[in-house]
Chains A and B, each alone.
Chain A
Amino acid sequence: MSVDGPAATFRRRGRIVVVGASLAGLRAAETLREEGFTGTLTMVGDEPREPYDRPPLSKQVLLGKTPADGTALPRRRAIDAEWRLGVAATGLDLTEKRVRLADGQEVAFDRLLIATGTRARPWPRDAEADLDGVFVLRTSDDAARLDRRLAAGPRRVLVIGAGFTGSEVASACRERGLEVTVAERGPAPLVGALGGVIGAVAAELQREHGVDLRCCITVTALEGDPAGRLRRAHLSDGTALDVDVAVIALGAMRNTEWLAGSGLGAGPRGVACDAGCRAFDVHGIVTDDIFVAGDVARSPHPLFGYQFLSLEHWGNAVAQAEVAAHNMISAGPDRRPHLWVPAFWSAQFGVNIKSVGVPPMGEEIAVTQGSLAGRRFAAAYGFQGRVIAAVTFDHARWIDFYRERIEAAAPFPPDFTGVDRPPEGIRPVSADFPDPALPTHGPTVTLSGYSPSDRRLTFTPARA
């Protein structure tokens, strides 16, 4: 062992494999090099192209303003990596420290970063999902295909699911002058992420922009013609719609199947890790050399009762990747926690939506600035007498203030006198989130604390 310790030796000569070549994987790789890692770096990605940005796919790309292959992520620096693109990881051997790839090869590592993210939840019936005209929207190829089809001028587009992606797709369709129907299982758009009070505002917004919004409804079947082209959709209220295009926007699934049987604490909710991004094994023991970052990670957060949070947020992917990379090449005492306050944004129907904190944890909501009626407002969510989250519609520049309130566990309802106070004063009402046991499109923040359905091991306490 060298005089400056194993961490320094690892920095010089270690082997790091990053599985997942998207935002989190790329930023982690850049951070590793930035902080002086000079060993070998392998980037594994199942898509054939280099890392690109996804937020524009449901916005500028669907509006035809940016080509789907024009969203490459800007590089912060050269990363001098071996790229294994177009080949998915299929397994992990924790004992031998090897990642198995779809092409039968294996890559050995000293430390591994798992950043495999999420994929679009597909339409549950394969035959219907395969119809020409049925789309999901997750990858650059998805966006290119959908953009081409929208440009061809379909008579009507059906969007299934009114979460953020579905709402953004509907918005883009309207901006292109297309007829669009949105079918949502829940009582309003965005209701899983922001609750019913804000959902009602989102619903008005959609209807005002000419969306045929149908809530509390499911699509029971997609019907094709003999040539295999989508022609009709059947709804749970017994009606049918003639549509040429259906966009399945039912949320995301975490890419953890390849870790099945590896011994890591990985499942449908993601890979559990500690605040330092170190993965847990199935026994809840923290691993030393396996790290997780981005949409696929779920980690405990002190601000939110130490519940495990999985976040499908752009900023989280970047921040978590940076912490994971730093910790991968640092000795114990130099490691940092990833204590990100969840934050995300959306743009739809001409409105800029931003949120901080964990809205689905909120029991109550109070508009603190502006007004719901004017669609320009800031609102705070309360949980057990403190501010737990906030959302803004076209009021984004105030968001830092609310983030600070959340970090400081400021009292709810908020008691401050400020500019742009609602004329009727600050009045808390129920935030009106649907029963989490009922399925709807998923929120972008998932709370995944203890759940009996997760228990796969038999608990056998040691005898005294």
Chain B
Amino acid sequence: MTSGTLLYQITDYANRADPYPLYAELRRTPVARQDDGVYAVSTYWEISSLLHDPRLSSDARNRVPLADGSLPPDPEEDSTLPPSFLRLDPPEHDRMRRLATRPFGPPNCPRRIHDMYGELTRMVSGLIDGLDGREQADIVDDFAYPFPVMVICNLLGVPHQDEARFHGWADAIVSGLDPNPAEGPAERQRVAQQARTELGGYLAGLIEEHRRAPGHDMLSALATEAGPDGRMSQLELITTAVLLLIAGHETTVNLITNGTLTLLRHPEILDRLRADPGLAVPLVEELLRYEPPVQLLPQRTALADIDVAGTLIPKGSPVWLMLASGNRDPRRFADADRFDPGRRDNQHLGFGSGIHYCFGAPLARLEAQIALTELARRLVNPSLVADPPPYRQNPVLRGPRHLPVAFDGLATRF
């Protein structure tokens, strides 16, 4: 990407804390061709339409070389593992996703997430109890990170004590997703691929254990139970496990942290949430619109010439869908830059749309609802220590690296 283009500025770390004015500028050209051949789509209706367009592929194997002759970077490429269903097109995608859904959601497990309510509440309460006696906490390290990690470990059947081992791999893999890293992309890619392979190896061992002694977790179900589509192959199972583990790690953290930050910037809404926990449901939806944890999808490829809003995206072009920008499109949302949990019409792009619609959405929603409600209820007089807080490097999975918050003790747990 040529430095100086709007897209470059958006991915530039210097603008991480507030990319929204840049998105507003980008929307003036709904489909903006970058110098390197990338097409950035930034307006709501155009993004939404492309997310349902079968002419747009998620499979990196459909990419053609860029203007400079290089292929766009892809962290999953050349790995010893095949791509996860996130990076596949139908019909392979559909089959893999159906298999992954069997032990997770409807129609086979319609209540699985709902039934986790008590368990999630206990985890959140325990983490907040751990802040007792302190006057300041880092919402990321003390709360928003450990919580989803515990949840995804329990759900998948990954021993929580191994967390330290796969934390490093997860970090490296996610860095590889950074489309515009400060260091050389090649080195990042290499590290990310190696991490993915090592994590895969770790999970392969784990899957073998679950196959021998199945529990009530997803890995056990995926390894032992067959449906109409049969079972996943060993390699498919490993890539799916890597995907779920990473996604469980890296997105909800940002949703909860962005949520805490936004609430502390809007104390009147924090007060309302404290008084009415029912507000958590629309509040989390508004957060997904206003500060989505996944800001953009930089990995689609046009399979045909596609006319979008009067611009022709040529076959083979890389397409970036700027979800966070679409979420603030004033042609779609009235007063789009205002954080308003009372918004009635809120069909945001926070979880994407179409066949790749976030697999973990029901879980992410519940985690964020419980986490934010309990934080609001129990932290007495919370306030931001730094605004803006320091952000993580990644512009795709955007969120604060630390969120120091001061408070006057804890309210009692129910």
Residue contact B304 to A370, C-beta cutoff 8 Å: no
Q: How many A-B residue pairs have CB under 8 A?
A: 54
Q: Which residues of A contact B (CB under 8 A)?
A: 368-370, 374, 376, 378, 397-401, 404, 416-420
B91 within 8 A of A: yes
Residue contact B49 to A398, C-beta cutoff 8 Å: no
A419's partner among B54, B353, B357 (CB-CB below 8 A) is: B54
B54's partner among A374, A376, A398 (CB-CB below 8 A) is: A398
Q: A417-B55, A418-B53, A420-B89 are in contact. List 13 more A-B contacts (CB 8 A).
A: A369-B54, A374-B91, A397-B52, A397-B354, A397-B355, A398-B355, A400-B49, A401-B52, A416-B54, A418-B303, A419-B54, A419-B56, A419-B303
A399 to B89, CA, bound (A): 16
Residue contact B89 to A419, C-beta cutoff 8 Å: yes
What are 9 sample pairs from A and B whose C-beta atoms fall under 8 A apart?
A: A370-B90, A397-B52, A398-B354, A401-B53, A417-B303, A418-B304, A419-B54, A419-B90, A420-B94
**Chain B residues whose C-beta falls within 8 Å of the C-beta of A401 in the assembled complex:** 49, 52-54
Q: A369-B90, A370-B91 are in contact. Are A418 and B54 (CB under 8 A)?
A: yes
Count the B residues whose beta carbon is within 8 Å of the partner chain — how many? Answer: 20
Q: Give the shortest distance, in Å, between B31 (CB) and chain A (any CB).
A: 16
- Of A368, A398, A416, A418, most B-chain CB atoms within 10 Å: A418
Looking at chain A's contact residues, the main secondary structure is mixed
Nearest opposing residue in chain A for B315, CB measure? A417
Interchain residue pairs A-B with the least CB separation, the first 8: A418-B54, A420-B90, A419-B89, A400-B52, A417-B304, A401-B52, A418-B55, A397-B355
Nearest opposing residue in chain B for A34, CB measure? B344
**Chain B residues whose C-beta falls within 8 Å of the C-beta of A419 in the assembled complex:** 54-57, 59, 89-90, 303
**Chain B residues whose C-beta falls within 8 Å of the C-beta of A369 in the assembled complex:** 54, 90
Q: Give the shortest distance, in Å, between B56 (CB) and chain A (any CB).
A: 8
Q: Give the shortest distance, in Å, between B79 (CB) and chain A (any CB).
A: 22
Looking at chain B's contact residues, the main secondary structure is loop
Q: Which residues of B contact A (CB under 8 A)?
A: 48-49, 52-57, 59, 89-91, 94, 303-304, 315, 353-355, 357
Nearest opposing residue in chain A for B53, CB measure? A401
**Chain A residues whose C-beta falls within 8 Å of the C-beta of B53 in the assembled complex:** 401, 418
Q: Give the shortest distance, in Å, between A408 (CB) and chain B (any CB).
A: 10
Nearest opposing residue in chain B for A414, CB measure? B54
- Of B54, B91, B94, B355, most A-chain CB atoms within 10 Å: B54
Residue contact B91 to A404, C-beta cutoff 8 Å: no
- Of A369, A374, A400, most B-chain CB atoms within 10 Å: A400
A397 to B59, CA, bound (A): 18
Q: A369-B54, A376-B94 are in contact. Are A397 and B357 (CB under 8 A)?
A: yes
A327 to B56, CA, bound (A): 40
A417 to B62, CA, bound (A): 12
A376 to B93, CA, bound (A): 13
Q: Give the shortest distance, in Å, between A350 (CB) and chain B (any CB).
A: 8
Q: Give the shortest distance, in Å, between B254 (CB) and chain A (any CB).
A: 25
A374 to B52, CA, bound (A): 21
Q: Give the shortest distance, in Å, between A414 (CB) and chain B (any CB).
A: 10
A400 to B49, CA, bound (A): 7
**Chain A residues whose C-beta falls within 8 Å of the C-beta of B304 in the assembled complex:** 416-418
Residue contact A398 to B52, C-beta cutoff 8 Å: yes
Q: Give the shortest distance, in Å, between B68 (CB) and chain A (any CB).
A: 25
A29 to B55, CA, bound (A): 42
**Chain A residues whose C-beta falls within 8 Å of the C-beta of B89 in the assembled complex:** 419-420
**Chain B residues whose C-beta falls within 8 Å of the C-beta of A416 in the assembled complex:** 54-55, 304
**Chain A residues whose C-beta falls within 8 Å of the C-beta of B57 in the assembled complex:** 419
Q: Give the shortest distance, in Å, between B89 (CB) and chain A (any CB).
A: 4
Nearest opposing residue in chain B for A371, CB measure? B91
A416 to B54, CA, bound (A): 9
**Chain A residues whose C-beta falls within 8 Å of the C-beta of B357 in the assembled complex:** 397
Q: Give the shortest distance, in Å, between B93 (CB) and chain A (any CB).
A: 8
A368 to B53, CA, bound (A): 12
**Chain B residues whose C-beta falls within 8 Å of the C-beta of A420 in the assembled complex:** 54, 89-91, 94
A374 to B49, CA, bound (A): 26
A397 to B352, CA, bound (A): 12
A221 to B357, CA, bound (A): 51
A398 to B59, CA, bound (A): 17
Residue contact B49 to A404, C-beta cutoff 8 Å: yes
Q: Give the shortest distance, in Å, between A375 (CB) and chain B (any CB).
A: 11
**Chain A residues whose C-beta falls within 8 Å of the C-beta of B90 in the assembled complex:** 369-370, 419-420
Q: Give the shortest distance, in Å, between B313 (CB) and chain A (any CB).
A: 13
**Chain A residues whose C-beta falls within 8 Å of the C-beta of B49 in the assembled complex:** 400-401, 404
Nearest opposing residue in chain B for A418, CB measure? B54
Q: Give the shortest distance, in Å, between B346 (CB) and chain A (any CB).
A: 14
A110 to B119, CA, bound (A): 57
Q: Give the shortest distance, in Å, between B91 (CB) and chain A (any CB).
A: 6
Q: Give the shortest distance, in Å, between B356 (CB) and chain A (any CB).
A: 9
Nearest opposing residue in chain A for B90, CB measure? A420
A399 to B49, CA, bound (A): 11
A374 to B228, CA, bound (A): 12
Q: Give the shortest distance, in Å, between A66 (CB) and chain B (any CB).
A: 13
**Chain A residues whose C-beta falls within 8 Å of the C-beta of B48 in the assembled complex:** 400
Nearest opposing residue in chain A for B57, CB measure? A419
Nearest opposing residue in chain A for B91, CB measure? A420
A418 to B53, CA, bound (A): 8
A196 to B89, CA, bound (A): 30
Nearest opposing residue in chain B for A376, CB measure? B94
- Of B52, B57, B89, B353, most A-chain CB atoms within 10 Å: B52
